[in-house]
């Protein structure tokens, strides 16, 4: 920056003015979309949640916090929130653990790396609708592969998507098949970034495969694991597609997620204001979880 | 490194040049065991594809007959595919998906790269705040926006148009962050020289920075395209008109319309899956690298 110092103050201020203009000019296109399709909906949604607005446009007067007090007393809201947290819990664990196990095994120097990546990652490229069609068909009580397999093992058939006790697990199985390949790829990339010298030193010290995995790979993967868990929790909380497509939230609301409740309150129940209030409660939950995670990761690294 | 490479030269897998696999010496037994486990799992992972294909190649009668069988009694047939293609909607929906995803990807790339460049390189007032706001916005889950966005699109009279599908899907704050981090690594000297020669910012951006950033632009493009291609909730809300549906939403209507025509259901699902699977087979390495580099950007 030796040139900058020789520039006269006037030229310098001219340059900083030009930088201001250029900077905002380059930011403007993004900013326009950002304001129109993110900031504005956030504001108008907050305003809408304070009104009784219906899908037909009627009743757009302010009703204060009535939507929120109604939502907090709405057992269906709590149930769908509970379903969402349940799904998040029982999907995040296998989506992280299986991904790590697959990556660790594939990274053992197996031949045909591309084949394994292809097999485990390719479902991630499918639209949710395709996944739901595949699995709804495999879960078919009479004609499905799952019950056929159970029958061969001498186990009585299961009403996969129609049994309230089983339906969420059935959805988790489909979800794991669909998206575990993404976390698997992230773990594989992280494993391949661990310097070889660590393993060489360990094997000179006589550490075996398992020992090396637990004392080298796993600690080295710590930061990646924290990231993957956070991203997975935030992704699982947003679940809607595959549940709506496979069970429509049933049986009897047993799998209805909070996003589906937002959708139904607005588009089936015609209550946009109420639906906006529920989406803000959902947003509040996401914020709390995100802040908790920031707090935990800070504390750990401090 | 030299010793391990020498001891296992045969294990160098072709086609994974960028990502060197773990080449530490292993007992053959554990490697054989690992190969067996992974093979079994990989086959299990392919079962849904295989069963869908087997079903799609059956007549409806065979598809719905018990006991179930991989090989149909009356032989394989392409009837289901023919019927699905004749009803005419899948090609339209594929084109809709292709067009909207390409438009979303293009707009996202242009606006994200230029704001990322400004933040990375230009010293302008308010840029820290701008970056802060963009990073903070990552936390906003898209489902929170669907109700107000629907209202907005309705009042702009854009429901059931391509605009409604495209415009709200072009903000990818994590991608701005990814691009900015990449631009930060490009040596400033390259630009300073051009600035001295009197080149404008726009020219420097398009002739120096963007060409040097091809790998990251490709990675972002891949990530955004896959997301847009598969997005369900927003297109499901923003369109009703059958001729405007994207593939994932169109399939949902087929499912309700065809009901128990299992072979046709599976044929449609496979036709919908086909484009991205084919693309993946061709660009496997780029896609995998792209996902690995952008995948953790959400935080």
Query: Minimal Cα distance from B46: which residue of A?
Result: A119
For residue B249, pLDDT beyond 70: yes
Q: Which residue has the tokens 């056929």?
A: A148
CB A198 within 8 A of CB A204: no
Measure CB to CB from residue B262 to each of A122, A137, A275 and give the nearest one.
A137
Judge whether A50 is closer than 8 Å to chain B, CB to CB: no
Judge whether B124 is closer than 8 Å to chain A, CB to CB: yes
- From chain A, the residues in CB contact with B1 under 8 A are 196
Can you tell me the distance from the alpha carbon of A242 to that of A132, in angstroms, rounded to the nearest whole number? 6
For residue B79, pLDDT beyond 90: no
Check CB contact under 8 Å for A37 and B167: yes
Can you tell me the distance from the alpha carbon of B79 to that of B97, in angstroms, rounded to the nearest whole number? 25
Token reading at B198? 């009197």
State the DSSP code for A51.
B
CB B170 within 8 A of CB B111: yes
For residue B208, pLDDT beyond 80: yes
Check CB contact under 8 Å for A127 and B122: no
Non-local (6+) Cβ contacts of B269 within 8 A are A129, A130, A133, A134, B52, B56, B251
Q: How many CA atoms lie within 13 A of A204 on its CB side?
A: 7
Helix (H, G, I), strand (E, B) or coil at A103: helix
Instruction: Give helix then strand counts, H and E, for chain A.
Output: 16, 0
**Selection from B24, B4, B23 nearest residue B13 by Cα:** B23
- pLDDT at position A12 is 64
Q: Which residue has the tokens 């903070």?
A: B136
B 129-158: CB under 8 A from A: 130, 134, 137, 139-152
State the DSSP code for B25.
-
For residue A196, pLDDT beyond 50: yes
State the DSSP code for B295.
G
Query: Minimal Cα distance from B47: which residue of A?
Result: A145
Rounded to the nearest integer, the mean pLDDT of chain A is 88
- pLDDT at position B258 is 60
Question: From the CA of B125, how many Å to the nearest CA of chain A?
Answer: 6
pLDDT one-digit tens code per residue, B91-127: 999 999 999 999 999 999 999 999 999 999 988 999 9
Question: From the CA of A268, how many Å to the nearest CA of chain B?
Answer: 12
- pLDDT at position B5 is 33
Q: How many CB pairs under 8 A join A and B?
A: 306
Judge whether B127 is closer than 8 Å to chain A, CB to CB: yes
The percentage of chain B sitting over the pLDDT mark of 90, rounded to a whole number, equals 46
The pLDDT confidence band at residue B27, using thresholds 50, 70 and 90, is low
- pLDDT at position A77 is 94
Question: From the CA of A90, how many Å to the nearest CA of chain B?
Answer: 20
A 266-285: CB under 8 A from B: 266-267, 272, 275-276, 279-280, 282-283
Query: Minimal Cα distance from A149: which residue of B?
Result: B68
Of A102-111, B50-59, B158-167, where does mean pLDDT reach its minimum?
Answer: A102-111
Check CB contact under 8 Å for B252 and A129: yes
Can you tell me the distance from the alpha carbon of B185 to that of B180, in angstroms, rounded to the nearest whole number? 9
Check CB contact under 8 Å for A20 and B167: no
Instruction: Report cis status (omega within 30 of 0) of the bond before A251.
Output: yes
Tell me the backbone φ, ψ of residue A154, rounded to 5 degrees.
80, 20
For residue B19, pLDDT beyond 50: no
Best B144, B156, B274 member to test A by mutation, with max A CBs in 10 Å, is B144
* Dihedral sign, Cα of residue B161, residue A244, residue B46, residue B295: positive
- pLDDT at position B1 is 32
**What CA–CA distances, in Å, run from A270 to A267, B64, B124, B294?**
5, 39, 46, 38
**pTM of the predicted model as reported, rounded to 2 decimal places:** 0.87
A 207-236: CB under 8 A from B: 209, 212, 224, 227-228, 230-231, 234
Question: From the CA of B65, how many Å to the nearest CA of chain A?
Answer: 7
- From chain A, the residues in CB contact with B226 under 8 A are 125
Report how far Cα A36 is from the mean position of its chain's Cα atoms.
24
- pLDDT at position A8 is 58
For residue A94, pLDDT beyond 70: yes
**What CA–CA distances, in Å, run from A108 to A52, A101, A119, A136, B91?**
59, 11, 17, 35, 43
Of A139-153, B13-27, B79-93, B103-117, where does mean pLDDT reach its minimum?
Answer: B13-27
Question: From the CA of A165, how many Å to the nearest CA of chain B?
Answer: 23
Can you tell me the distance from the alpha carbon of B156 to that of B160, in angstroms, rounded to the nearest whole number? 11
More confident residue, B5 or A266: A266
- From chain B, the residues in CB contact with A275 under 8 A are 147
ipTM above 0.85, yes or no: yes
């Amino acid at each position: 920056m030796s040139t900058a110092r020789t520039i006269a103050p006037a030229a310098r201020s001219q340059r900083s003015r030009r930088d201001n203009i250029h900077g905002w000019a380059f930011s403007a296109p993004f900013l326009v979309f950002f304001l129109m399709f993110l900031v504005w909906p956030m504001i108008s949604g907050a305003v809408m949640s304070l009104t009784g607005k219906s899908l037909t446009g009627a009743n757009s007067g302010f009703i204060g916090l009535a939507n929120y007090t109604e939502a907090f007393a709405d057992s269906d809201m709590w149930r769908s929130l509970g379903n969402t947290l349940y799904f998040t819990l029982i999907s995040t664990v296998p989506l992280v653990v299986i991904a790590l196990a697959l990556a660790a095994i594939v990274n053992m120097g197996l031949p045909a790396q591309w084949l394994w990546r292809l097999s485990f990652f390719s479902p991630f490229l499918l639209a949710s609708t395709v996944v739901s069609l595949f699995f709804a068909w495999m879960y078919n009580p009479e004609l499905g592969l799952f019950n056929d397999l159970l029958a061969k093992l001498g186990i009585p058939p299961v009403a996969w998507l129609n049994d309230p006790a089983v339906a969420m697990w059935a959805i988790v199985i489909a979800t794991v098949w669909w998206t575990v390949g993404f976390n698997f790829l992230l773990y594989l990339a992280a494993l391949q970034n661990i310097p070889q010298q660590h393993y060489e030193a360990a094997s000179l010290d006589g550490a075996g495969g398992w020992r090396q995995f637990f004392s080298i790979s796993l600690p080295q993967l710590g930061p990646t694991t924290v990231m993957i868990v956070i991203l997975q929790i935030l992704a699982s909380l947003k679940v809607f597609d595959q549940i709506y497509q496979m069970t429509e939230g049933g049986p009897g609301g047993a799998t209805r997620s909070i996003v589906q409740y937002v959708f139904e309150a607005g588009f089936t129940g015609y209550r946009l204001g109420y639906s906006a209030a529920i989406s803000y409660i959902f947003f509040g939950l996401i914020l709390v979880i995100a802040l908790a995670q920031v707090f935990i990761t800070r504390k750990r690294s401090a | 490194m030299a010793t391990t490479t020498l001891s296992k030269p045969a294990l160098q897998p072709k086609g994974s040049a960028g990502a060197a696999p773990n080449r530490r010496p292993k007992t053959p037994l554990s490697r054989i065991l690992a190969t067996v486990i992974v093979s079994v799992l990989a086959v299990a992972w392919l079962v849904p594809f295989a069963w869908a294909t087997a079903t799609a190649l059956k007549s409806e009668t065979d598809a719905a007959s018990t006991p179930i069988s991989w090989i149909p009694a009356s032989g394989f047939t392409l009837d289901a595919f023919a019927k699905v293609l004749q009803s005419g909607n899948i090609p339209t929906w594929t084109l809709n998906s292709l067009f909207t995803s390409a438009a979303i990807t293009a707009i996202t790339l242009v606006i994200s790269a230029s704001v990322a460049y400004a933040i990375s390189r230009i010293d302008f007032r308010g840029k820290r705040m701008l970056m802060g706001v963009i990073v903070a916005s990552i936390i906003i889950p898209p489902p929170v926006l669907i109700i107000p966005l629907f209202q907005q699109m309705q009042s702009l009279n854009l429901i059931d148009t391509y605009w409604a599908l495209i415009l709200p899907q072009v903000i990818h704050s994590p991608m701005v962050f990814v691009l900015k981090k990449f631009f930060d690594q490009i040596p400033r000297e390259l630009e300073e020289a051009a600035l001295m020669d009197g080149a404008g910012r726009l020219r420097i951006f398009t002739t120096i920075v963007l060409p040097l950033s091809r790998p990251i632009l490709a990675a972002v493009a891949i990530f955004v395209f896959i997301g847009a291609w598969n997005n369900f909730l927003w297109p499901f809300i923003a369109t009703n008109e059958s001729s405007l549906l994207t593939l994932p939403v169109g399939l949902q209507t087929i499912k309700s319309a065809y009901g128990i025509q299992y072979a046709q259901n599976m044929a449609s699902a496979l036709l919908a899956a086909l484009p991205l699977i084919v693309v993946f087979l061709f660009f496997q390495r780029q896609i995998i690298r792209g996902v690995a580099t952008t995948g953790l950007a959400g935080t």
